[in-house]
């Protein structure tokens, strides 16, 4: 039987500048989910990419004195560009789409024409307020203090002959859709319905004539396709929709689009409406995650308050950074990023709790049994508790992962590692080791610890893929690194053999490190 499919996407990022920790946050979350689903036996398609057209990029390229294509090539595939960043962060995307890819451009032209021929798009004149950095037209009522509701900057009056998508026709169907729980978290639904749908949807201007860096409307020279129409359909063209480059439409509809909350509007109103217009299946879910903020302000390239992941990952380890991002902040809500939080979290959870547990356990098996446990067993006090927690963990974890509750899933794993550390103190292996008659009891304690580590490590695989490999090597887990084996406490061979390794997560001197970070 073929495996069930699972299709997950990140937004396609604007290559107008280097990406920062906010983009990294979304890609890491998507990666964790993709890896989790692969571990669960799904045939996963994980798509990310770049959204390369539009006036903003055209202007940036002009300022830099290069062509738009050269400009985006440098940021996307150049040294230390976006592709390199995802390698650094160990992002396991199966595909990377660039909206300047030939197959995508040709597909967008066909899609635009199909919408026009169906009568979903018509020609008219646009008069309105335009925010250049956001490439968005706004109505008077949508402005906040007379400024762009997304970025807070000045908007200006603009008028142009343009094509319009009949968005106004979809209010009722969209409301129905949003009320099914299709968009998460729930708070975003109210925002969409109250702020956009209830006041009345207006037809959407979907072509531009004021610049050329976009997909040309092939039946009307001078017009280019609105960048959001071009961008949203990436989720389908990357599978082969309206092109021959790929043949993976079996992945459609997507299981979930992960997007930042500021672009939920595009994904939960414009995107489904366009798909409805073409009678295409809708993605199964859209999840609008929160922002990483600094002192309460959204981190963004245009504000200039960004944190650079390429400085942090090599310094603390990619896995430590990945762990921090998903453990510290609840995925659906905003989180305030500080270096102090990052270092404190690494020290408390990774160095003191997990790292310490692994190194103590391995060191004791090594010291007391020369690296290989004897097979005799003797159970005792405290065993039932740790075995109970470890055995229940996969189910609890699954419940959180299926709801994109990464933070809660990690909290549960670390309840087991803390419990295991406490179990060491309770059972005092160093005392048992002094008594020849307690060898079976000592072996049992250490075996239980190895099993707790193994189960925790399997469940940590989506979050810290490289570190768990090291843990598996140290505890001699062999093939027992699968989801199925994590369900079984006691799967590890009784005569388990460990191999000492390097410290997994070195402890960081907070004060010294904060000072150092201030300098870079
Ligand atoms: O919007 N905190 O691209 P973009 C958390 N091209 N996440 C953040 C973030 C922050 N401070 N800053 C960015 C676009 N992100 C369009 C998308 S999709 C068809 C087109 C993440 O480069 C978050 O996921 O502005 C956000 O939605 C995405 O990066 C926007 O990236």
* 271 Cβ inside 6 Å of ligand 1: no
- Max CA separation in the chain (angstroms): 90
Distance (Å, whole) CA 30 – CA 33? 5
Query: Which range of residues forms the domain containing residue 383?
Result: 339-486
SS3 430: helix
The residue whose CA has the least distance to atom 26 of ligand 1 is 260
Evaluate whether residue 119 is within a structural domain: no
Contact indicator for 217, 225 with CB cutoff of 8 Å? yes
Evaluate whether residue 481 is within a structural domain: yes
Evaluate whether residue 408 is within a structural domain: yes
Instruction: Tell me, in angstroms, the distance from the centre of ligand 1 to residue 350's CA.
Output: 28
Which helix (H) or strand (E) segment holds residue 104: the answer is helix 102-117
Q: Which of 8, 10, 12, 13 to mutate to test the pocket of ligand 1 (most atoms within 8 A of CB)?
A: 13
Instruction: Tell me, in angstroms, the distance from the centre of ligand 1 to residue 151's CA.
Output: 13
Distance (Å, whole) CA 50 – CA 96? 8
Evaluate whether residue 257 is within a structural domain: no
DSSP notation for 211-264: --SS-B-TTSTT-EE-HHHHHHTHHHHTTTTTSSS---GGGPSPSEEEEEGGGH
Evaluate whether residue 514 is within a structural domain: no
First to last CA, the chain: 53
The beta strands (E) that lie in 318-372 are given as 335-336
Spell out the residues 6+ positions from residue 134 whose beta carbon is closer than 8 angstroms to its own: 148, 150, 151, 153
3-state secondary structure 359-414: HHHHHHHHHHHCCECCCCCCCCCCHHHHHHHHHHHHHHHHHHHHCCCHHHHHHHHH
Give residue 495's pLDDT: 96
* 204 Cβ inside 6 Å of ligand 1: no
The residue whose CA has the least distance to atom 3 of ligand 1 is 13
Distance (Å, whole) CA 446 – CA 361? 7
Give residue 301's pLDDT: 67
Contact indicator for 325, 406 with CB cutoff of 8 Å? no
State how far the alpha carbon of 431 is from the alpha carbons of 46, 221, 424, 425, in Å.
50, 84, 11, 10
Q: Which of 9, 18, 22 to mutate to test the pocket of ligand 1 (most atoms within 8 A of CB)?
A: 22
Q: Indicate the number of domains in the chain.
A: 1
Instruction: Tell me, in angstroms, the distance from the centre of ligand 1 to residue 315's CA.
Output: 25
Instruction: Tell me, in angstroms, the distance from the centre of ligand 1 to residue 232's CA.
Output: 13
Task: Report the DSSP beta bridge partners of residue 43.
Answer: 5
- Helices 68-77 and 55-64, axial angle in degrees (round to 10): 90
**Beta strand pairing call for 207-208 and 256-260:** unpaired
* 298 Cβ inside 6 Å of ligand 1: yes
Q: What is the mean pLDDT of each run of 10 residues along the chain (520 residues)?
A: 94 95 98 98 98 95 97 97 98 98 98 98 90 81 89 88 96 97 95 94 92 96 96 98 98 98 97 98 98 86 83 96 98 95 97 98 98 97 97 98 98 98 98 97 98 98 98 94 96 96 95 85
Evaluate whether residue 459 is within a structural domain: yes
Contact indicator for 120, 75 with CB cutoff of 8 Å? no
Q: What is the CATH number of the domain that holds 427?
A: 1.10.730.10
* H helices present in 143-183, as ranges: 171-178
Distance (Å, whole) CA 285 – CA 279? 17
* 231 Cβ inside 6 Å of ligand 1: yes
* 13 Cβ inside 6 Å of ligand 1: yes
* 28 Cβ inside 6 Å of ligand 1: no
Give residue 132's pLDDT: 83
Angle in degrees, CA 402, 408, 409, rounded to 5: 60
Evaluate whether residue 473 is within a structural domain: yes
* 26 Cβ inside 6 Å of ligand 1: yes
Evaluate whether residue 309 is within a structural domain: no
Give the ligand 1 atom nearest the CA of 26.
24
pTM: predicted TM-score of the whole model, two decimal places? 0.95
Instruction: Tell me, in angstroms, the distance from the centre of ligand 1 to residue 263's CA.
Output: 7
Q: Which of 24, 26, 331 to mutate to test the pocket of ligand 1 (most atoms within 8 A of CB)?
A: 26
Instruction: Tell me, in angstroms, the distance from the centre of ligand 1 to residue 10's CA.
Output: 9
* 238 Cβ inside 6 Å of ligand 1: no
């Amino acid at each position: 039987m073929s495996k069930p499919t699972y299709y997950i996407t990140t937004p396609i990022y604007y290559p107008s500048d280097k990406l920062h920790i906010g983009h990294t946050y979304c890609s890491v979350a998507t990666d964790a989910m993709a890896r989790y689903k692969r571990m669960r036996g799904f045939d996963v398609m994980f798509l990310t990419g770049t959204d390369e057209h539009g006036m903003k990029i055209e202007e940036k390229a002009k300022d830099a004195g290069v062509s738009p294509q050269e400009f985006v090539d440098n940021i996307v595939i150049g040294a230390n560009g976006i592709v390199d960043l995802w390698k650094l962060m160990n992002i396991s995307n199966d595909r990377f789409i660039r909206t300047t890819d030939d197959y995508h451009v040709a597909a967008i032209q066909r899609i635009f024409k199909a919408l026009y021929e169906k009568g979903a798009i018509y020609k008219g004149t646009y008069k309105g307020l335009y925010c250049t950095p956001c490439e968005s037209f706004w109505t008077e009522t949508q402005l906040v203090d007379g400024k762009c509701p997304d970025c807070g900057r000045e908007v200006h009056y603009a008028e142009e002959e343009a094509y319009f998508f009949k968005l106004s026709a979809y209010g009722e169907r969209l409301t129905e859709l949003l009320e099914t729980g299709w968009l998460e978290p729930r708070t975003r639904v109210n925002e969409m319905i109250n702020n956009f749908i209830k006041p009345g949807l207006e037809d959407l201007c979907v072509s531009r004539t004021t610049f050329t860096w976009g997909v040309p409307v092939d039946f009307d020279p001078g017009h280019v396709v609105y960048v959001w129409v071009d961008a949203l359909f990436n989720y389908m063209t990357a599978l082969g929709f309206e092109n021959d480059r790929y043949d993976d439409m079996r992945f459609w509809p997507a299981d979930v689009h992960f997007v930042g909350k500021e672009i939920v509007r595009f994904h939960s109103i414009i995107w489904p409406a366009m798909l409805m217009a073409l009678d295409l299946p809708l993605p199964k879910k859209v999840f609008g995650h929160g922002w990483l903020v600094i002192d309460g302000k959204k981190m963004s390239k245009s504000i200039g308050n960004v944190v650079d992941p390429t400085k942090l990952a090599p310094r603390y380890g990619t896995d430590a950074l990945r762990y921090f991002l998903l453990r510290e902040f609840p995925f659906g809500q905003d989180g305030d990023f500080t270096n102090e939080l990052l270092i404190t979290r690494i020290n408390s959870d990774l160095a003191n709790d997990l790292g310490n547990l692994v190194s103590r356990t391995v060191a004791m098996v090594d010291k007391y049994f020369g690296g290989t446990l004897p097979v005799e067993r003797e159970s005792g006090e405290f065993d039932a508790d740790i075995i109970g927690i470890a055995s229940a963990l996969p189910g609890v974890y699954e419940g959180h992962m299926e709801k994109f509750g990464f933070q809660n899933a990690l909290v549960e794993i670390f309840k087991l590692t803390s419990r295991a550390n406490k179990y060491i103190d309770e059972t005092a292996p160093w005392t048992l080791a002094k008594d020849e008659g307690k060898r079976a009891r000592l072996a049992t304690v250490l075996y239980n610890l190895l099993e707790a580590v193994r189960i925790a490590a399997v469940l940590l695989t989506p979050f810290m893929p490289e570190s768990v490999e090291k843990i598996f090597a140290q505890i001699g887990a062999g093939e027992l690194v699968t989801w199925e084996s994590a369900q079984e406490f006691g799967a590890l061979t009784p005569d388990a053999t460990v191999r000492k390794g390097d410290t997994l997560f070195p402890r960081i001197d907070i004060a010294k490190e904060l000072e150092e970070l201030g300098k870079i």
